[in-house]
Amino acid sequence: MPLFGNSFSPKKTPPRKWASLSNLHFMDRSTREVELGLEYGTPSMNLAGQSLKFENGQWVSESGSFTGDRRELQRLRKRNQQLEEENNLLRLKVDILLDMLSETTAESHLMEKELEELKQHSRRRK
């Protein structure tokens, strides 16, 4: 025998109404595509005169290959690599300069503190 009795009995939920009253559910897929324009096709875009389309997870030139000069592409990649290396070098230099600045600032504060202590010590002797 349960301690509080068996008083829990949930009410039955009422049956659901029809999800939509539109007639789109009665049309087949091809009719819906024609009526609603659901035929999207592959995404495409135009960048700097180069037409690209999205296929199999990658953007591909619509002409099938890169229409620009391969030498220009290699030059741009090389320049990009050089700029990335220069950027990394500059970041390293900034980090080193910040370390040097913090070290110099700490030494300066210590010297100021020692100077103040010496001034106070000399005042006490007088």
On whether residue 71 sits in a domain, the answer given is no
How confident is the model at residue 6, as a pLDDT?
65
On whether residue 54 sits in a domain, the answer given is yes
Claim to verify: residue 57 and residue 80 sit in the same structural domain = no
Q: Where are the alpha helices (DSSP H) in 16-69?
A: 29-36
Bridge partners (DSSP) of residue 59 are: 54
How confident is the model at residue 125, as a pLDDT?
82
Give the pLDDT band (50/70/90) at residue 66: low
Give the pLDDT band (50/70/90) at residue 58: confident
User: What is the Cα–Cα distance from 93 to 87, expressed in whole angstroms?
Assistant: 10
Of the candidates 36, 64, 92, which is a domain's last residue?
64
How confident is the model at residue 18, as a pLDDT?
62
Claim to verify: residue 83 and residue 47 sit in the same structural domain = no
Q: Rounded to two decimals, what is the model's pTM? A: 0.42
87-100 residue pLDDT tens: 999 999 999 999 99
How confident is the model at residue 96, as a pLDDT?
97
Q: Write the CB contacts of 92 (distance below 8 Å, at least 6 apart in sequence).
A: none
How confident is the model at residue 40, as a pLDDT?
66
How confident is the model at residue 73, as a pLDDT?
83
H or E segment at 54?
A: strand 50-55
Claim to verify: residue 83 and residue 103 sit in the same structural domain = yes
On whether residue 106 sits in a domain, the answer given is yes
The phi and psi torsions of 3 (rounded to 5 degrees) equal -65, -45
- Write down the number of H helices and E strands in the chain: 2, 3
Claim to verify: residue 52 and residue 90 sit in the same structural domain = no
Claim to verify: residue 60 and residue 80 sit in the same structural domain = no
Domain of residue 90, residue span = 76-125
On whether residue 56 sits in a domain, the answer given is yes
Total domains in the chain come to 2
